[in-house]
Amino acid sequence: MQFKLDLLEEEAKLLDKKISLKLEKTKLKAENTMLMAKIVKLEQTVKEKDDLMVRIVKLEHKLISKKNLSSSFLNGLELDVFFQKYQIALEVQGVQHWLYHTSWYKDIKKLEDIVNHDWLKKCICQDNRIFLIEIWYDKKPEIVISKRIQKIKEFTNQLIKSLDDL
């Protein structure tokens, strides 16, 4: 008789634990759903910021120059902005240029292609003596551009000075 009571008591404890675990599971699922919704919202915000930045940069480029962004030396690739007169190019690099996510790509191959194109653009710009300014999604463009232009000025000044010394 005592054995049956102990068994019933143990069953009650296990049932209580099972209910407690189900409740915890439900809470975790709700929290997970909420976090996933936040991730989707953040991804959308990043995409909107990237799209806006690209549109602004392209609009500025149209105002400054009517040149085609896909020059023959790029082998079919395009620069976001190319100021031919100054030999300066701008590339806006969104998070999709660095991070793999299934909502952007079907497989990792697409990310690899983008990274390879970015690398190829860098090499082509370097070979053609074009200053390439990359603006990453998590950096402020006004700071990145001004710092890089300052470096370009310093380089140009050093070059002029070294040529004067000849």
The residues, ordered by sequence, that sit 6+ positions from 107 with a Cβ below 8 Å of its Cβ are: none
Question: How crowded is residue 88: how many other Cβ atoms within 10 Å of its Cβ?
Answer: 19
The residues, ordered by sequence, that sit 6+ positions from 90 with a Cβ below 8 Å of its Cβ are: 57, 61, 79, 80, 81, 82, 132, 133, 135, 145
Whether the pTM exceeds 0.75: the reply is: no
Q: What's the Rg (C-alpha) of the chain? A: 28
- Is residue 100 within 8 A of residue 108, CB to CB? The reply is yes
Per-residue pLDDT of the chain (166 residues; tens, 9 = 90+): 787 778 888 888 888 888 988 899 898 888 888 888 887 777 777 777 667 677 776 666 665 554 444 566 677 788 888 888 888 888 887 666 555 555 555 676 777 787 888 899 899 999 988 888 888 766 777 777 778 778 777 877 787 777 777 6
What ranges do the domains of the chain cover?
A: 2-164
